[in-house]
Structure 1
Amino acid sequence: MYSITTEPARKLVRLKLMGMLSREQVAALYHEEHLAIRAMHCRPGDHLCIVDLTECPLQLQDVANAFQLGIKSDAKAKRLAMFTGQALGRMQARRIARERDEVMIFERREEAEAWLFADEARSAA
């Protein structure tokens, strides 16, 4: 399962992954994410994304491969932050995201948001 919410003022997509997913669910997730990006009137690659993995166990290899394909798509976020308290979950997230720039994996939401919005904080100062 997953949920997708947006904050159009920040051009932000929030994803929350829960439980074991299938390849079909990963495809549906990316499709719905692209619709959410368009609904915010963002061009692909002009948005930020944060992914909550705290309720997401390690995924099967074929599902991890599906995430890896999607994470490299043309609609990828300008910056992508993922977080989970599970060390093995962070390791899997790093493997999935290893071919992407501007991706960081964190233990806590606060760390992920601080990195994700660092440019916003600097320009406000």
Structure 2
Amino acid sequence: MFEISTEPQHKLVRLRLTGMLTRDGVADLYRQEHAAIAAMGCRLGDHLCIVDLTDCPLQIQDVASAFQSEIGSEGKARRLAMYTGRALARMQARRIAGARDDVAIFEHREEAEAWLLAGGDGQAG
């Protein structure tokens, strides 16, 4: 219940999450994301990532914990922007991301892309 696409010219990975995931689904997502990063000719950690959560319901705690573990892992994105129009989903995304200044959560895709590609600092929304 995810889609991955890349934009090599920006070293950008786009993730779109939909539906309920499992811990195994989260692990599969990150395996495929790492393969997509390698296919761009980019090293883990040199890439940017934007995550579309607009069609992703709130996840159960076990899955949220799996995301939390992965988001802070060695292969994390240099900068990560997430977006969704739902306030509760943004709150869950903030809890998962923790207090990282290289992660921001937005209501709209355009805001997320502008922040990510501009290289600005600080936490949004």
- C-alpha distance after superposition, 1:30-88 (max 9, x if no partner): 00000111111111110000000000010000000000001011111110000000000
1:33 matched residue in structure 2: 33
Distance 2:56 2:2 in 1: 9
Kindly indicate whether residue 61 of structure 2 is the aligned counterpart of residue 61 of structure 1: yes
Structure 2 counterpart of 1:48, one-letter code: L
Aligned residue pairs: how many?
120
Query: What does residue range 55-94 of structure 1 map to in structure 2 within 5 Å?
Result: 55-94=55-94
TM-score, normalization by structure 1: 0.93
Q: Is the 8 A contact 1:72 1:100 kept in 2?
A: no
**Which stretches in structure 2 are left out of the alignment for 5+ residues?**
121-125
Q: Is the 8 A contact 1:12 1:47 kept in 2?
A: yes
Q: Is the 8 A contact 1:50 1:81 kept in 2?
A: yes
Distance 1:93 1:11 in 2: 23
Structure with more of its chain in helix, by fraction: 1
Percent identity of the aligned residues? 69
**Which stretches in structure 1 are left out of the alignment for 5+ residues?**
121-125
Kindly indicate whether residue 18 of structure 2 is the aligned counterpart of residue 18 of structure 1: yes
Distance 2:27 2:94 in 1: 20
4+ residue stretches of structure 1 with deviation over 2 A? Answer: none
RMSD of aligned C-alpha atoms?
1.1
How far residue 99 of structure 1 moved from its aligned partner, in angstroms, is 4.1
